[in-house]
Amino acid sequence: MPRSTREAVEELPLLEAGLWPASPAPEPPQPHRAKTPDRPPPAALGHRERLRARAAKALDALPDYELLELMLARSLPRGDVKPLAKALLARFGGLAAVFGASLAELTAVKGVGEAVALDLKLVQEATLRIGRGEVARRPMIASWSALLAYVKAAMAHEGREQFRVLFLDKKNQLIADEVMNHGTVDHAPVYPREVMRRALELSASAVILVHNDP
């Protein structure tokens, strides 16, 4: 209800005497402060530093979950990633299977986003390229251990059967490694004419046929 002129005049002496509550003065603007990035809690920071120190002394002595934990810490700088590392190993059954899992399978694990899944797949891709390079630099027959290690890394954790062909030159060195066909969980069709056609295109002198059983 609006006040009358008389009421306003009657309140004037009280305002001058400081006995009537006046409207609060507006607060001065606060200076802008840059938001500091979130950091892991002190306990997590201390654990990571101790883990890094141990890795620097004897990297090969770390169990699989701690190795995976160090890798996840680079993708997830906040919080404790040990439970996530153990959850991934429990879900897929081992370190190689974690890296061999698809992006969709990885992101289905709680706590794994697209960026983390991609980081894990980068590790697998680097491993495959290293293995492919070692195989390509040496005669195939003289380096079965390198060949088997490469094929295992490439196919051991595939969810579907595939028919893969390694094309060799006359010195038994690798020309190309190609998946000729994908199948289902229990079979993969192969057509000899397609294998021979590709071998002629590459001028291959020999082939190694590889097949996996999921």
Fold of 140-214: Cytidine Deaminase; domain 2 (3.40.140)
Domain boundaries, the chain: 45-137, 140-214
pLDDT at position 37, please? 42
| CATH topology match: 45-137 vs 140-214 | no
Q: What ranges in the chain are assigned the alpha helix state H?
A: 5-16, 42-57, 64-75, 82-92, 95-100, 103-107, 114-137, 144-155, 192-201
Sequence length of the chain is 214
> 45-137 belongs to which CATH class?
mainly alpha
End-to-end Cα distance, the chain: 82
Residue of 136 and 47 predicted with greater confidence:
47
Q: What is the tens place of the pLDDT at every residue in 75-91?
A: 888 888 899 999 999 99
Q: What is the tens place of the pLDDT at every residue in 162-180?
A: 888 988 888 878 888 888 8
Q: Tokens for 191?
A: 């057509």
3-state secondary structure of 59: helix
pLDDT at position 137, please? 64
Q: What is the tens place of the pLDDT at every residue in 12-36?
A: 555 555 555 555 556 666 655 545 4
pLDDT at position 201, please? 92
Q: Predicted confidence band at 3 (pLDDT cuts at 50, 70, 90)?
A: low
Q: Predicted confidence band at 110 (pLDDT cuts at 50, 70, 90)?
A: very high
Q: Work out the angle at residue 129's Cα, subtended by the Cα atoms of residues 127 and 135, and round it to the nearest 5 degrees.
A: 105
